[in-house]
Amino acid sequence: MKTKIYSFLVALIFPLAAFSQADAGIIKKIYSNPVIYNFDEKVSWYFDLTGTTFAETEDVYIWIWSPSEPDAGNFANSSDFAKLTYVGNMVWRFDLTPTTYFTKTIAEIKASAGFWLRLKDKTGTKQTGVANVPITDFSAFATSGKPFDYYPAAFTLDDPLSIIFNANLLPAFADASTVHLHAGLNNWDIKQEYQAWLPEIVAKTQLINMGGGFYRIDLVPRTYFGAPAGYVMNTINFLFVKNEWAATTPDYVMNAPGFSSVPAYQINDKSLLLFPNPVKNELTISNISKNVKISIYDLSGKLVMYKTAGSTTEKTDVSNLTKGVYSVKVSDNTTTRTSKLIKQ
């Protein structure tokens, strides 16, 4: 209610000249990438101007007055630093670090009414209606007891998504130097594996260290996984990896909106992870218990390798195996888990 009253009052006290300008219409959609961020981090705001009178060829500028007015006094001749970048499909982008752009501290921005603005042409001959950039509050996550969470809850294949991880809840991650995402869509139908020997994949899958044992990764699912046109995303399956596979979390699952064949928040503690798969030389088997029995069989059912695990993440030399498909079985006194392995 406070912010609604504030925006109404601000609209009333704008210079009268502003009300003589042509109304360009209402901003259809506003979103940010990353979805969650600290105010001293760089962020991109996106504005969908579909349905307004702006054309794709026009320059668009931001006129923002809360938490401060960086371009004050320049309504009729907006500064270059207030200019947006055209992305395509009637969407414009504005890049900023809030604390720098507004010359405000994090605390001052938090205490403000938020980010209130209009979009306009350079000379102010037309402008959109009053709008504000939504701020996603993720402060409750730290004490939620969840190992991870994601924003927005109703994520889509083509919009930005932020996944946050609390490594404090997993003792094996206490001394992690890096944390990476190993993930796939629809039960690993399309994968973006963490391949520790490929520098570009290491960089792509690495989470941002937010401090205090919290990590975050920001992505657009279609781009991140390379999903083709027409692809329907039901789940994102993933786990977090410490350093170069020194430890992993259990498998996690996130349901896309409207899909509920598995719990919306699921941890699969019994998932058996083989990496890399396909494999050439060294195979890592994780999410197992120490002293379990590891057996590898070929397609005829012949046992080709057997060992006892010495740790919860076991490395095995399979370079002597011929190319083909194998079955890996991990057994203890009560259960047996099986997974397919492809040897290159």
- Of 133, 166, 199, the residue at which a domain comes to its end is 133
- Residue 259 sits in the same domain as residue 287: no
Is the CA virtual torsion 156, 157, 160, 166 positive or negative?
positive
**Full residue range of the structural domain in which residue 307 is found:** 275-343
pLDDT at position 13: 45
- Of 237, 270, 303, the residue at which a domain comes to its end is 270
Q: How many CB atoms lie within 10 A of CB 176?
A: 20
Length of the chain: 344
- Residue 263 sits in the same domain as residue 288: no
CATH number at residue 168: 2.60.40
- Residue 172 sits in the same domain as residue 290: no
Say yes or no to pLDDT of 280 above 60: yes
Q: How many CB atoms lie within 10 A of CB 174?
A: 11
Residues in CB range of 225: below 8 A, 6 or more apart = 183, 184, 185, 190, 191, 192
CATH number at residue 330: 2.60.40.10
Say yes or no to pLDDT of 64 above 60: yes
Average pLDDT score over residue span 88-98: 97
Say yes or no to pLDDT of 20 above 90: no
pLDDT at position 261: 60
- Residue 150 sits in the same domain as residue 210: yes
- Of 111, 133, 155, the residue at which a domain comes to its end is 133
Listed ranges 230-244, 281-295, 314-328; the one with the highest mean pLDDT: 230-244
Instruction: Find out whether the peptide bond into 160 is cis, omega within 30 degrees of 0.
Output: no
pLDDT at position 273: 72
- Residue 19 sits in the same domain as residue 92: yes
Residue 262's pLDDT band (boundaries 50, 70, 90)? low
The number of distinct structural domains making up the chain is 3
Match 């889509």 to its residue by tokens: 156
Q: Which residue has the higher pLDDT, 157 or 298?
A: 157
pLDDT at position 18: 44
- Residue 114 sits in the same domain as residue 156: no
